[in-house]
Structure 1
Amino acid sequence: MRIWYQSYVDRENGGRYWTELQAHLDAIARDGTEIVVHGITPHDSYAHPLVEFRCAREMICNAIQAEREGYDAFVIGHFQDAGLYEARAAVDIPVIALGEASMLHACTLGQRTGIVTINRRYIPWFHHQITRYGLGQRITGVHAMQFEPGQILGAFGSDARRDEVSDLFRAQALPLIEAGTDVLIPGGGIPMLLFAQIHGHRIEGLPVLNGIPVAVKMAEMAVELKRDFGLSVSRVSDFVMPPRDVLDEFMTHPARHPAADL
């Protein structure tokens, strides 16, 4: 099978992260699975819902393109899952998202999950996700370190920077542990990959969940369940498929620029 892995960082801006991500995905994939990383050029100096919105539109277009190019599944490698439901409603291949997959799998590892993200501005977004996924009673809380998206990329290839991020993560995790957390999730693909080299990563006995392999394995499983048993998402409510011409219009119509009316 072929899986399109949608990073929200591109090769040019990702540097060492991009290289390590592809290597990690290659190690995760089972025999016969090819995972191809595609990027989105981010605004790496500021985390904001408008940036998420812009990236979400590009991601949805890419999911449609992935299906048309014959990919078997599409993985959103971005914890905020922006555009997830819209992408599922636009294609007939499995769409697996890093945030949703991580939170759902955490429910199998413990009763209460704590999330530590990279920036405080992401906290409200995460709470929206938690509510949408119906996990309000299973999430202890969301805490944050303080990095802009591009800053944390500098930790790849630097043991000192990685250790700094690890220490900041631990500092934010400890209050969550005191509040009764059983499982810890780094809230982002970048910190997940940064910590991936720590086999059996735990803090005070709590597992620190790397959601990247979880999302990939869920994608592989979803492809097999669809092939072997015809199991796929519901086509009522959130995931109703639009007609082909609606998809074509979405793919070809550019985002409206304010200057167009001047």
Structure 2
Amino acid sequence: MGVKINFINPFGTDAYNGLIMETMSPYLTGGAELVVTNTKNCPENIDYYYSKHLIEEAIFESCIEAEKAGFDAVIVGCCYDPGVRVARELVDIPVIGPLEATMQMAPYYGHEYVLVTDHHKAVPYLRDMVRLYGEEAHCRKVDCIDWWVTDMIQDTAGVARDAVAAADKIRREAEADVCILGCTIISASHEKAIMEGTPRDVAILNPNTMALKMAQSLAELKQQGAYAISRRAYYQNLKDRNADEFAGVRRQFANRGK
């Protein structure tokens, strides 16, 4: 039986859903099903960290609802990997962060990589993510193309053009083997250009497809009884320790904004 994967765009708008679905669907195999959704009742722009933290609360709710709806895995569709680790505390299905998944797969493509993100504000944040994931030895540089997500959807061809140029330039400067496009919308824009005839450079890694394959693999392992999240420490669930306290927190969250 094929697995069912929920790609959750963390932006509180459906403006990006079609682009994601269009560019990820060709990579579905083995009867896997992809459903692209977005968060609700939260900011539409994750570029600023205040909005990002508000969005993360909506992500937690979306992951809980995805598990209830029968999804076998969730991808949180942003290379900030927003709320991913907290969401793993809340659900038993795999929760995939695109940046983490791609960093883990990058060594199969090249020994060292550069990370190209969207704008200058994201650069230091992703440098922190490199350290968090223990990738300082392999990530040679973090840089950007200076596009904002609300502009990208208006000109995906321009985003793809700038991303390819930046990937090539930064990779050569850093003497790295491959480049991770550290933004799901940059990656989708680049993938769309490939679908429209731009030659593929296999040294440019797409976090969307990497996350999809990671999600499918872990979901299939879970179906076969060979995957479970350890609740010993880091991902221990409050619900298991104190169900009443967990229910109270959930009620408080549900009343927000009413």
Contact 2:17–2:38 (CA under 8 A) maintained in structure 1: no
Distance 2:219 2:98 in 1: 16
Alignment partner of 1:177 is 2:172: yes
User: In 2 relative to 1, CA 186–78 (structure 1 residues): closer, same or farther, beyond 3 Å?
Assistant: same
Q: Cα offset for 1:80?
A: 0.5
User: In 2 relative to 1, CA 44–92 (structure 1 residues): closer, same or farther, beyond 3 Å?
Assistant: closer
Query: What's the CA shift string for 1:14-39, capped at 9, x where partnerless?
Result: 1xx43232123332222432211111
Question: What is the DSSP-based 3-state SS (H/G/I as helix, E as strand, rest coil) of the residue aligned with 2:67?
Answer: helix
- Report the equivalent of 1:223: 219
Aligned 1:125-164 pairs, distance under 5 A: 125-156=125-156, 162-163=157-158
Contact 2:112–2:140 (CA under 8 A) maintained in structure 1: yes
Distance 2:82 2:191 in 1: 23
Aligned 1:172-211 pairs, distance under 5 A: 173-197=168-192, 198=194, 201-202=200-201, 207-211=203-207
- Report the equivalent of 1:23: 22
Distance 1:82 1:71 in 2: 19
Distance 2:221 2:46 in 1: 39
Aligned 1:76-91 pairs, distance under 5 A: 76-91=76-91
User: In 2 relative to 1, CA 217–154 (structure 1 residues): closer, same or farther, beyond 3 Å?
Assistant: same
Q: Cα offset for 1:59?
A: 0.5
- Number of residue pairs aligned between Structure 1 and Structure 2: 248
Q: CA RMSD in A?
A: 2.6
Which runs of 5 or more residues in structure 2 are unaligned? Answer: none
Question: What is the DSSP-based 3-state SS (H/G/I as helix, E as strand, rest coil) of the residue aligned with 2:86?
Answer: helix
- Report the equivalent of 1:36: 35
Opposite residue 226 of structure 1, the aligned amino acid is K
Q: Cα offset for 1:5?
A: 0.9
Query: What's the CA shift string for 1:93-139, capped at 9, x where partnerless?
Result: 11111111111111221111101111110112112211111111110
Aligned residues with identical type, % of pairs: 23
Distance 2:189 2:250 in 1: 34
- Report the equivalent of 2:8: 6
Q: Cα offset for 1:11?
A: 5.0
Opposite residue 221 of structure 2, the aligned amino acid is L
Q: Cα offset for 1:233?
A: 2.7
Distance 1:107 1:38 in 2: 30
Distance 1:247 1:9 in 2: 26
Distance 1:214 1:245 in 2: 38
Distance 1:26 1:172 in 2: 24
Opposite residue 175 of structure 1, the aligned amino acid is I
Q: Cα offset for 1:225?
A: 1.2
Q: Cα offset for 1:46?
A: 7.2
Which runs of 5 or more residues in structure 1 are unaligned? Answer: 157-161
Question: What is the DSSP-based 3-state SS (H/G/I as helix, E as strand, rest coil) of the residue aligned with 1:237?
Answer: coil
User: In 2 relative to 1, CA 246–149 (structure 1 residues): closer, same or farther, beyond 3 Å?
Assistant: farther
Distance 2:71 2:246 in 1: 17
Superposition TM-score, scaled by structure 2 size:
0.85
User: In 2 relative to 1, CA 121–215 (structure 1 residues): closer, same or farther, beyond 3 Å?
Assistant: same
Contact 2:163–2:190 (CA under 8 A) maintained in structure 1: no
Opposite residue 34 of structure 1, the aligned amino acid is E
